[in-house]
Amino acid sequence: MTDSNLTSDMLGPPKFADNPIPTWEEFDADYTNHYFDGTLPLKGQCFIIIHNEQEIGQINYNEIDLDSKSTELDIWLADRKFTGKGLGTEAVTILCNYLRQMYECNTIYIAPSRRNTNAV
């Protein structure tokens, strides 16, 4: 995330000193092993977005609320050159379909930054 040329448009100085880019330790605390190893899928899971055999970003869902059958998504693209092509939209659609089929999620939230006008 910190290597993406999109990050400075969303987080950190100079534009957003009040919303710093997370350190590795902060990222690691938020995204524990189950996001990457699939051991606790109801707690959340992360997937790499691949386009033309190139890793272009990541998408994940967070803990699934079994009572409300809901969860929240996060998505990051690795470079500005991957935006505006529908790749993020396609990844969100695929993950939403997966969550509906596997876990009967009826409500899926995504909360992009208001600064991310292409996603809002």
Per-residue confidence at 19, pLDDT binned at 50, 70, 90?
low
What pLDDT does residue 7 have? 55
DSSP, res 16: B
pTM of full prediction above 0.75: yes
Residue 13 pLDDT exceeds 60: no
% pLDDT > 70, the chain:
73
> Residue 120 pLDDT > 70, yes or no?
no
Closest CA to 92 of 75, 78, 104: 75
Looking at residue 2, what is its pLDDT? 47
Mind listing the domains of the chain with CATH numbers?
7-110 (3.40.630.30)
CB atoms under 10 Å from CB of 114, counted, come to 9
CA distances from 32 to 25, 46, 50, 82, 114 (A): 11, 10, 22, 27, 27
Q: Is the dihedral of CA 68, 111, 35, 96 positive or negative?
A: positive
The per-residue pLDDT for range 46-78, each reduced to its tens digit, is 999 999 999 999 999 999 999 999 999 999 888
For the segment 69-88, the average pLDDT, to the nearest whole number, is 93
